[in-house]
Amino acid sequence: MAELELVEANDAFTHVALRGRLDAAGTGAVDLGLTSHTVARRKPAIVDLTEVPFIASLGIGMLVQVARSLASHGAQAVAVAPHEPVRGVLRLMQLGELLPVVATREEALRALGLE
């Protein structure tokens, strides 16, 4: 079952890490937590998928919803996804500026203009 860890939450950004498969069951397990840790804070967010071995459309929908909600408050979301095939799924979705996909936390911070 998927899990969520709040890695860092400060005045500048939020960093959350998801672990496990983001299939229908896994997405349901972390959806509320992800929203409450990111959207509710209205800060730029790093969503780390390094330890997510699988993602399907419900998981993508959850990430898009978080990114859209943050964007409506002027905050950017960035996904960290260094490994295939999850990176390939995100690439195929062509989410563009709504949810940039990078390989490391450092790249994510740069994408958020925080380094």
Partner 1 sequence: MTDRRLWRLDSPDPFRLSRISDEVEALLESGGLSERGRFTARLVTEELVLNAFHHGGAHAVTVELEARDRLVLEDDGSPFDPSAAAVDEPATGERGRGLLLVRGFAKALRYARRGERNRTEVVLPDGDRHQ
Chain residues binding partner 1 by CB under 8 A are 21, 23-26, 28, 54, 56-58, 60-61, 64, 84-85, 88-89, 92-96, 98-99
3-state secondary structure 70-84: HHHCCCCEEEECCCC
Contacts of 85 (CB under 8 A, 6+ apart): none
CB of 115 to partner 1, least distance (A): 26
Q: CB-wise, 12 or 92, nearer to partner 1? A: 92
What is d(CA 80, CA 99) in angstroms, rounded to the nearest whole number?
10
Q: CB-wise, 4 or 60, nearer to partner 1? A: 60
